[in-house]
Homo-oligomer: A and B are copies of this chain.
Amino acid sequence: MPTSAPRITALDTYDIRFPTSLELDGSDAMNPDPDYSAAYLVLRTDAREGLEGHGFTFTIGRGNDIQVAAIDALRPHVMGRSVDELCADPGSLYRDLIGDSQLRWLGPEKGVMHMAIGAVINAVWDLAAKREGKPLWQLLADAEPEWLAGQVDYRYIEDALTRDEAVAILRRGRQGRTARELDLHARGYPAYTTSPGWLGYSDEKLTRLAHRAVADGFTQIKLKVGADLDDDIRRLRAARTAVGPDIRIAIDANQRWNVDEAVTWITALAEFDPYWIEEPTSPDDILGHAAIRTRVAPVKVATGEHVHNRIIFKQLLQAGAVDVLQLDAARVAGVNENLAILLLAAKFGIPVCPHAGGVGLCELVQHLSMFDYLSVSGTTENRMIEFVDHLHQHFTDPVVIRDGHYAAPRTPGFSARMLPESIARFSYPDGEFWAAGLAGAGTADTVGREAAA
């Protein structure tokens, strides 16, 4: 038993890949055959009861090893650090990681290196929440406004959000919080489902899953579009027929178009009353999104899952380029940068509907949306978290969906822990699944996916 204050004793990394390409789960206009993967890490400590922090970033297969190498490169920044100090101020590590001048050259604050930082920062928040014995959403909602505002890096966003403004938003967020927390426990947080809409699914499967979504209590579904206009018209017609006029149908082009193409395509689909068009073009194209939004109204424009940092989100808001902001839990630099993004969205009055799915993204992002409801925006109006029914069985604290809502997690932490047997089985290339060459003989069972029907 250690006599001194507890420290980080190891940062262990794992290259986890699920062979989702076998079933075309996750297929869209830009990603025809993803193998959903996680560059996963565990922060180990010598604290009481084997306290650990778990984190990961999501990739879709090849390159997951590069992502793991990038996480490995951050190890010197965390080894030996005081657990108490880290948990008291995760922002100190966040600033150290984005401030490493040599690694910063590989971004700055974007791509592989930035996602690696996100994975490590999220693991620290998992550690901090477990140490407090609270689910992360509650740790955040219970925190002092001044402390939370101090977790944000205002560099490059101060022209849109100052620290004083952040504190004011968070103070205002305390009003009525008790009632909202009761509501959250009773009702959960609204979800929509993407499960019916993958591009590789047949019309029959789409229709069946759309019916199922409505029966399950979802009020919005999402369809992938953008590969072929005739196909999209046929699929949207089938979906609208299946769900009726009162269920929202969002469509998602996964960055497929130029500005003019986007406008033409969306206009051709307007008769099916799409609620939003997601990722109509490059996530880097702020002005392009603004132009598209003006031209396709009243269809809303949504983006964010590939937006690489708070600086691009800031400009999407400044330029009036989006109606819906879709933050991702693990593409930006983790909870600290997502605090900035939630506060920016609140400042501009734009609803946040997080990207989820992938591996464990639903598990992570529910904490951020629930905190947003309790303490930042103070509302769930026009706000929903994406839900995809893949791969949850690999987590120790999987999301729970009831009547189209995410139930508030009660287990301490960030819901980020993967089952040891899943890590062992799907580690690449030496885990049991990959070593046995099972990918070639894929079945729904070897894919490790829940039955979709």
Q: Which residue in B32, B70, B306, B309 is a CB contact (below 8 Å) of A108? A: B306
Residues of B within 8 A of A309 (CB): 284
The answer to whether A100 has its CB under 8 Å from any CB of chain B is yes
Contact of A158 with B100 at beta-carbon distance under 8 Å, contacts A73-B66, A107-B111 already known: no
Contact of A102 with B61 at beta-carbon distance under 8 Å, contacts A112-B70, A258-B155, A260-B159 already known: yes
Give Cα A265–Cα B318 distance, bound, in whole angstroms. 24
The answer to whether A60 has its CB under 8 Å from any CB of chain B is yes
Contact of A112 with B109 at beta-carbon distance under 8 Å, contacts A101-B34, A159-B291 already known: no
Restricting to A53-112, which residues have a CB under 8 Å from any CB of B?
59-63, 65-67, 69-70, 73, 100-112
Contact of A319 with B287 at beta-carbon distance under 8 Å, contacts A100-B62, A101-B60 already known: yes
CB <8 Å contact, A315 and B291: no
Chain B nearest CB from A161 CB (Å) reads: 11
What is the oligomeric copy number? 2
CB <8 Å contact, A109 and B284: yes
The answer to whether A113 has its CB under 8 Å from any CB of chain B is yes
Residues of B within 8 A of A315 (CB): 284-288
Residues of B within 8 A of A158 (CB): 258-260
Residue of B whose beta carbon sits closest to that of A67? B106
CB <8 Å contact, A311 and B282: yes
Give Cα A33–Cα B106 distance, bound, in whole angstroms. 15
A292-321 interface mask toward B, CB cutoff 8 Å, 1 = contact, 0 = none?
Answer: 000000000000001011011011001100
Residue of B whose beta carbon sits closest to that of A259? B159
